Structure 1
Amino acid sequence: MASVVQKFVQTMDAVSEVTGKIAAWLFFATGIIVCYEVFMRYALNSPTIWVDEISRILQVWATYLAIAFVLKSKAHIVIDLAFRDPNSLGRKVVDTFALSVIIFFCLIVVKYGIDIWWKSTVSGHTTDSYLAVPKVFIQSSIWFGFGQMALQAVAEIVKIWTWSPDDLPKQTRVH
C-alpha cells in the first residue's frame, strides 16, 4: 500500500514538473508572438488578426497548467505567524486543512468546468472572433488545471504526514 501511495506522489510531482515547464514555455511563446504583433503593427503598419486571441489562449493554458507546479514548489504566498516549525503537529494540521480547502474548491471548479466544457463541446460554441476557435480548447484548461491541482494537493497532504522534514522542499522548511 505504501508503495502505491509513494508512486502516486512521485507521479504527481513529475506531472506537475512537466506541466510547469510547459507553462513556462507557453508564457515565453506568448511574449514572442506579442512582440511580433508590436513589430507588425507599429513598424510595418500591418497588424495581425490572430495574435490577440492566440496569446490569450496560450496565457489561459499556461496559467492553469502552472497552478499545480506552484503548489508543489511551495511558491505561493505563505504567512505563518504561529506554526513555523514544519515538524509540529499544529503545522501539519493547519497545512492539511488548507490543502483540504484547496481540494474542495478545485473539485467544485472541476465539476462545473466539465459541465460548461461539455455544453460547449456538444453545442459547437466558438469564440466571437475572426478565427472562431472552438471554446472547447479554452474551457478544457480550467477543469484540467484544477483537477491536476486537486491531485497535487492530495500528494502534498501525503508528504506532510509521511515525509521527513529533510525530504520536504526548502520552501517548506524555511518560512
Structure 2
Amino acid sequence: MTTPARLDDQPAVLNEKGEFQVEDEAIDLSVYAIEEWLGFGVFCVLGATVFHQFFTRYALNDSAAWTEEIARYLLVCTVFIGIVGSVRKNSHIQVDFFYHWLPRWITRPLSTLVDLGRIAFFGYAVWLTWQLISRIGGQPMSVTPIAIGWVYGVVMLSFAAMTLRAIQVARRNWRNGYSVLERPKTAGASS
C-alpha cells in the first residue's frame, strides 16, 4: 500500500493571511519556431471559416457553400505545417524497444540509418508533390475558382521544411553521439 503525499510536499496556495494566491510561471514564447506560428495562423483562419459555416447554416439558415471545401483544405495545410514542428522537436512516434536490448555498436549505426531514411523520405515526398502540382496544380477547386495547386504548394513547402528540419535533427544526433531512440529520456531536452 502506498502512503499518500504529505501536505508539506504540496505547493502553497494560501498566503500568510489565508487568502488564495498562486503565481504563474513566466510564459516563454521563444520555444516556438516560425512553422508553429504559421500553423497557428492557418488554424485561426480555419476556425474563422468553420465559424462562418456554422453561423450561415444555423443562424441565417443559408449555408455558405464554399466553407466546407475551404475548411477541408485549411485543415490539410494546418496538419502538414504542424508536422514540420514535430520533426523539429523530433517528437514523432518511434519504436525504441530494440534499442534497449541491442549493443551500442548496432544501435548507433541503426539510429543514423533512421535519420537518413527520414531525410530521404521527406525529400522524396517533396519531389512527388512537385510532380503532382505539375500535373493537376492548375485545376480549380470544386466550389471556388482557386487553383488546387495552392494547397499542394503548402504541402510541398511543408515537406521541404520537414526535410530541412530532419537534416538539423540528424546533425544534432551526430554531434551528440546519440539520438532519442538510443536515449529516450533525452526527448524534449533540446529542440
TM bucket normalised to smaller = 0.7 to 0.9
RMSD between superposed Cα atoms in Å: 2.8
- Give the direction of change, closer, same or farther, for the CA distance of 1:37–1:103 in structure 2 (3 Å limit): same
- Give the direction of change, closer, same or farther, for the CA distance of 1:90–1:28 in structure 2 (3 Å limit): farther
Q: Which structure is higher in RCO with an 8 Å CA cutoff and minimum separation 6?
A: 1
* 2:154 pairs with 1:154: no
Higher helix share goes to which structure?
A: 1
The answer for the alignment partner of 2:54 in structure 1 is 38
* 2:133 pairs with 1:117: yes
The answer for the alignment partner of 1:11 in structure 2 is none
* 2:182 pairs with 1:133: no
SS of the residue 2:187 aligns to: helix
Gaps of 5+ in 1: 1-13
Q: 1:64, CA displacement in angstroms?
A: 1.7
Partner Cα distance (1:119, 1:125) in 2: 9
Q: 1:47, CA displacement in angstroms?
A: 0.8
Q: 1:44, CA displacement in angstroms?
A: 1.9
- Give the direction of change, closer, same or farther, for the CA distance of 1:150–1:51 in structure 2 (3 Å limit): same
State how 1:9-20 maps to structure 2 within 5 Å. 17-20=33-36
TM-score (norm 1): 0.72
Gaps of 5+ in 2: 1-29
State how 1:73-92 maps to structure 2 within 5 Å. 73-83=89-99, 90-92=106-108
Q: Any idea what the Cα deviations from partners look like across 1:113-134, whole Å, max 9, x if unmatched?
A: 112212335xx321122x1211
Report if the CA contact (8 A) 1:40-1:47 is conserved: yes
Letter in 1 for 2:140: T
Report if the CA contact (8 A) 2:133-2:152 is conserved: yes
Letter in 2 for 1:63: V
When the two structures are aligned, how many residues end up with a matched partner? 152
Between stretches 88-97 and 133-142, larger displacement belongs to 88-97
TM-score (norm 2): 0.67
- Structure (1 or 2) with the larger CA radius of gyration: 2
